[in-house]
Amino acid sequence: MLTFGYYSDFRPVSYAENAIPAGQACYVHKGYEADLLTAVEAIADAGLSFRRRDVGVWEGDWLGVSGGVWQRSATQYDVVGGGITIRADREKNAAGETIVRFTSGHVAFQQSLLVRAEDAARLASYADLTSDVRVGAVAGTTGEERLLQLTGLTNADGVLAAGVWVETPQGEVVADGGPGYRITAAGESANLVGRQRLQPPNSNLPQVVYLPGETELLPALGAGEIDAVARGGIGNSDASVDSGGAFVISALDSAVEYGGFTVAADREALRSCLNEKISWLTDERRIGYAQWREDPGLFLRRASTWNRLQNGLQQDANGVLTIDLASVAPGAMSFAAASDNPNLAAVSVAGGVLTVRPNEDGEDGVAAITVTLTESDGSVTTLRFEVVVKSDPLAPAYFRGWRLSLLTDA
């Protein structure tokens, strides 16, 4: 059994349903990532099972030796998650060595501003955030980083603008515009650790107020202690709905980021397995948070479809591939199939069984197979296969490996 450590304060992507001390076994992991991971476990040939541990708030920054995320992922947990944005600089330690690797992205993030409804017109863009505006953020997140960049409090490299005042537990420091005052989502300069507030150098830039975690942001906004919350659009969107319209998203960052899991850099087999299964479950990113929120059971159904496909898959000595589609979709009324390269891999369907026949000329390549299943209610499901054809001295041709994605058309 693998140990999965996760940030438990990121509703609705990843959170603990009830309070459990950090580091203790948590069997109530909730949210989008929790359901995705449960579906990974349900895929029979993955052979993966996870003991989930509530990490709570990360100790130190991303690169912190005494508890940073990469350190935990490299030494304490087999897999780490919790709405973590994929970044190349988060895979390396302070010495520039690659310590962890990210899996494929499984959820898209866009940063946003959440404000009280009555302030939506006044704070309609990042450019409207002036020195009388207090923006709440969590240190070390991409929400913080993008807020600082979009408002000009830092440049693209995370270097604070000259004159920014930073309140820390050790006292106040003033940025000189040089690299000794840097904040990014992968870490910060040592003199900025534990920052509590940023005061702008002029009236055109906002104040930034740092709160311990995600759960403190919304009460502070409602109480008027801050005027906006800078974080991902998923959390802010749900907060807006849950507030009954008291909070609204006033600005959305155009940049799109992707979240993934991390594993130690030397665990490539585990990462590859996770990538394959995540790609299937998310239909290569066609399925994301919005689809899951509408239908939280879809990941488990896709895991079940994977298992049925595997059980119905046969390949003979000549490389002919057959799949019992009737067992995969027992309610389907009709099946049709097509190959984008019939000379490389020809397809046919008879009696609910798909047959994919490779060419006999020793040609190598990849063919995309599309299968359409029409159900009794008229709904259409499309199966997409990629089959790899490789020559073999013992047979005319055979399929070495295959990949699938599943898309249900509206």
pLDDT for the residue 67: 44
pLDDT for the residue 333: 77
Whether the full predicted model's pTM is greater than 0.85, yes or no, is: no
pLDDT tens figures, 27-57? 588 999 999 999 999 999 889 999 998 876 5
Structure tokens at 232: 């991902």
**Which residue is it, tokens 């749900």?**
238
Burial of 151 (0-12, 13-18, 19+ CB in 10 A): buried
Structure tokens at 29: 């992991």
Chain centre distance of CA 54: 18
Closest to 117 in 3D by CA, of 270, 266, 265, 244: 244
Total residue count of the chain as it appears in this document: 410
Residues of the chain with pLDDT under 70: 18-27, 56-74, 332, 361-362, 391-410
Domains (ranges, CATH) in the chain? 2-107+258-300 (3.40.190.10), 111-252 (3.40.190.10), 316-408 (2.60.40)
pLDDT for the residue 398: 46
- Quickly list DSSP for 6-57: E--EETTTEEESS---TTSB-S-EESHHHHHHHHHHH-GGG---EEEEE--S
